[in-house]
Structure 1
Amino acid sequence: MTATSHRFDALTAEHMRAGGSWKWSTPGESHGRGLIGAFVAEMDFPVADAVADAVRRAADASQLGYLPDDWAADMADACSAFWGERFGWAPDPAWVRPVPDVLTAFTATVRHFTRPGSAVVLPTPAYMPFLTVPGMLDRELVQVPMPRSDGRLVLDLDAIDRAFADGAGLLVLTNPHNPTGRVFDDAELAALTEVVARHGARVFADEIHAPLTFGGARHRPYAASSSVAAGHTVTATSASKAWNTPGLKCGQVILSNAADAEHWAATGYLAEHGTATPGVLATTAAYRDARGWLDEVLAYLDGNRALLAGADLPGLDVTVPDGTYLAWLDGRGLALDEPPSAFLQREAGVVLTDGAACGEAGRGGMRLNLAMSRPVLTEALTRIRTALRA
């Protein structure tokens, strides 16, 4: 390797296909080449030593039983301390509760913190399961497309206001935003709080990508933005995105007022019960002992963002993310008779998330995962450019 190369650069597509991850498991090839997985939101990078060591210690010590209270409390302390240092808000560790993942937290929030039968409001394009889970819970979903303002996607506060006026009870706020990479600012959060409070509604704040921001963008926990927001918010997060541990099944619910904490204590048992013990131990290690690894990954991802920003992708409107490692590619200008993601999988051999799966507002778009080695990302972008020029 050259003096300027990074250890992540050695991760080849062949290595990733052999590794067994879902992201690289799509069968087939394109023009005699293997497919490049760029759709599932997980990173290709090897986990931090502290995280791997925690998993090994758990296995060596047979710490694979049900989760004891003291390990959950230790994780809550580590999470609170990390959030305090990184985002200026250290929630009460007693109000940080273990769950397997954000979707479990979302399901529990809908069931236990909203009016029976009330609709769920979702700005779109959105993380795909948020479009399907409400229906599984017998809730109507109200999609609110995000308009563009000054070149960036924003919340449509008027449409959200109308949805609440019509009886909806919960807004899903994903920040940093998946799939567009937006990081909402203080003014946007304050304006949203006004609308939610006016209707006595609730917010489910999905902040799983909180540590993953770049440049001048900074994550602002919605519940910490005001006492009013704290009173109507259930926050969910996890180390799974920032430290690449989704298979360890450990997330956190963060309550931000005493009434919600008391209600969770009475209703949250089932949501907490499936949390994996090795995941809790690994998450504690990530928050405490793997911050240097996170900073290294952020710097590498920032380089991948720059690579995307400089790429020549004719016909695509590219949104380089301010947060997350997910970029949004608008392919409506290509005027294809098929989804752009299907075209690029066939002609370029790059597997992207079809924007239609992110809601009607996403139709014609694609989600691109940038969290791969730079040589592989270079190859993916080269293939896309070649297919678009053909």
Structure 2
Amino acid sequence: MTPQPLEALPLDVLRRRSSTKWRTYPEDVLPMFVAETDFALAPAITEVLTTAVATGDTGYTPPDPGLAAAFAGFARRRFGWEVDPARIRSTADVMMGVVELLRATTRPGDRVVTTPPVYPPFGLCIDEAGCRDEPVPLQDTGAGWRLDLPGIERALAGGARAVLLCSPHNPTGTVHDAGTLAELAEIAARHGAVVISDEIHGPLTHDGSTFTPFLAAGGRAAEVGYAVTSSSKAYNLAGLKCALMVTASDSTADIVRGLNPEVEWRTGLFGAMASVAAFAPTSDDWLDALRAALARNRRLLTEMLRDHLPLARYREPDAGYLAWIDVSAYGWGDDPAAHLLDAAKVALHHGPAFGPQGVGYVRLNFGCSPEVLAEAIERIGAVARADGRV
């Protein structure tokens, strides 16, 4: 049975939130920029956090808060992926995990392959780890995006030591297929490189696509790979600070076990509690209802763009709630989001922040109510009509 879509909270309630999404811009702006969603928490998460506050359970995170076992169960149910709980370690967030893994597997000055347009903090984390970014852009096939495997091989043959993979990809929503991931693993193995895979959007893969965890892609993936993930995107828990570093071989597990103990101490207690509740079977129905809501909005966005911004180019993402939209035909400059914030009072993420490939693009978050999404596109469409571009 297809689940009923989860309903977003009303705007008057959302504007009482104190997070980045709701405190960055004035109330006349619709915030569609940062990756926060507009839904109430899964009931199991609300229950565990409410109990913790009521009992003053706000101390240090214990050595075993149940995270590893909970995620292993989730991975088995949702992805068909068998994970050894002994090969899971936590930290505060995915980007912190990325930095620490880069520090452990590369040397200062090493080059790290990224696949722009890509999540802007990737570059910041590579810099923090003392490495250098080596972009190998995604290839636009005309029907979607794919990794440029020959380009990645050339970069690794030329001395790059790691690939920082976004899987599913942010901002395009691309889900890399198992064959592509297995080939990437073989390429990395040939050149003695590692692959660090950010898989935070995996739980939000849409029907019709299959998410393959990198470590489950076969071939040499287990030997060269590290996965970093979190409940934070699917369950809107970013402020609670909890992420997981996962390995699938003895050698990579040793690397993670060898990280400074402080890396794990940075895990937030509320984040650990909420993640255990999120990964439990009792939250599966909530996740399915969220995915149904996002699927509805994904289709609605296609329709709204057709009616109000027919010159825009947009492909429905395979995963997540982020839309990568080319609005360059409207003449709003290299960074259309800057113009639309002023002209439409809609806050979108800035395309050029994702790399040169983002010139003329915006990233829009459709993890909201259909009404808010429709109003945002109607506002932008009104700007296009006022400019004489339809």
TM-score above 0.5: yes
One-letter identity of the residue aligned with 1:341: A
Q: Quickly say closer, same or farther: Cα 1:18–1:68, change in 2 above 3 A.
A: closer
Q: Is the Cα–Cα contact under 8 Å of residues 329 and 368 in structure 1 kept in the other structure?
A: yes
- Supply the distance in 1 between the matched residues of 2:285 and 2:207 (Cα, whole angstroms): 18
Match of 1:65 in 2: 59
> 1:28, CA displacement in angstroms?
4.0
Name the aligned partner's letter for residue 171 of structure 2. P
- 2:363 pairs with 1:363: no
- Give the match for residue 14 of structure 2: 16
Task: Find out whether 1:161 has 2:153 as its counterpart.
Answer: yes
Q: Which moved more, 1:135-144 or 1:273-282?
A: 135-144
2:164 maps to which residue? 172
Matched, 1:194 2:193: no
- Mapped to 2, the partners of 1:91 and 1:278 lie a distance apart of 23
- Report if the CA contact (8 A) 1:315-1:388 is conserved: no
Deviations 1:322-351 (A, max 9, x none): 101101011222233452111211121110
1:386 equivalent in structure 2: 382
| TM-superposed deviation, 1:315 | 2.3
Map of 1:341 onto structure 2 = 337
Give the TM-score, by structure 1 length.
0.93
The alpha carbon displacement at 1:118 in A equals 1.3
**Is residue 330 of structure 1 aligned with residue 322 of structure 2?**
no
Alpha-carbon distance in 1 for matches of 2:337, 2:264: 37
Task: Assess if the C-alpha contact under 8 Å between 1:314 and 1:385 holds in 2.
Answer: no
- What residue identity is the alignment partner of 2:353? A
Distance 1:111 1:119, change over 3 A: same
Please, which moves more after superposition, 306-315 or 229-238?
A: 306-315
Say if 2:33 and 2:347, in contact at 8 Å, map to a contact too.
Answer: yes
Q: CA deviation at 1:18?
A: 2.6
Change (3 A) 1:114 1:8: same
| Cα drift, residue 287 of structure 1 | 0.7
Kept in 1, the 8 Å contact 2:185–2:224? The answer is: no
Matched residue, 1:264: 256
Q: How many residues align?
A: 379
* Match of residue 27 from structure 1: 25
Using the TM superposition, give the Cα deviation of residue 266 of structure 1 relative to its aligned residue in structure 2, in angstroms.
2.0
Q: Distance in 2 between matches of 1:226 and 1:7?
A: 35
Q: Which amino acid aligns with 2:50?
A: R
Query: Is the alpha carbon distance of 1:59 and 1:337 closer, same or farther for their aligned partners in structure 2, counting shifts above 3 Å?
Result: closer
Mean Cα deviation higher: 59-68 or 141-150: 59-68
Q: Percent identity?
A: 38
The yes-or-no answer on 1:46 pairing with 2:46 is no
Instruction: Give the letter for the 1:269 counterpart.
Output: P
- 1:102 partnered with 2:94: yes
The one-letter code matched in structure 2 to 1:141 is D
Q: CA offsets per residue over residues 255-276 of structure 1, 9 Å max, x none?
A: 1111121222222412211101
Describe the superposition over 1:67-92 as per-residue Cα deviations: whole angstroms up to 9, x where unpaired.
21231xx2110100100111111210
Residue 229 of structure 1 and its aligned partner are, at CA, apart by 0.5
Task: Note the 1:190-229 alignment, pairs <5 A.
Answer: 190-229=182-221
* Structure 1 residue 227, shift from structure 2 partner: 4.5
TM-score (normalised: structure 2):
0.93
Aligned to 1:300: 293
Match of 1:132 among 124, 129, 132: 124
Where does structure 2 lack aligned partners over 5 or more consecutive residues? none
| One of 298, 302, 305 as aligned partner of 1:309 | 302
Separation in structure 1 between the aligned mates of residue 288 and residue 71 of structure 2, nearest angstrom: 17
What's the offset of the Cα at 1:26? 2.9
* RMSD (CA atoms): 1.6
Q: Equivalents in 1 of 2:359, 2:135: separation in Å? A: 13
Gap regions ≥5 residues in structure 1? none
Matched, 1:354 2:350: yes
Per the TM alignment, residue 354 of structure 1 is displaced from its structure 2 partner at its CA by 0.4
Alpha-carbon distance between aligned partners in 1 of 2:109 and 2:336, rounded to the nearest angstrom: 36
Query: 1:214–1:302: 8 Å Cα contact kept in structure 2?
Result: yes
User: How big is the shift at 1:116?
Assistant: 4.1
Deviations 1:78-124 (A, max 9, x none): 10010011111121001111111101110111100224431111000
Distance 1:337 1:63 in 2: 51
Q: Distance in 1 between matches of 2:260 and 2:200?
A: 19
1-structure distance, mates of 2:179, 2:121: 28
For 1:64 and 1:342, locate their aligned partners in 2 and report how far apart those are by CA, in whole Å. 40
Please give the residue correspondences for 1:143-158 in structure 2 after superposition, counting only pairs within 5 Å: 143-158=135-150
1:207-237 C-alpha deviation (Å, 9 max, x unpaired): 0011101121111001111141011111000
Give the equivalent residue in structure 2 for 1:183: 175
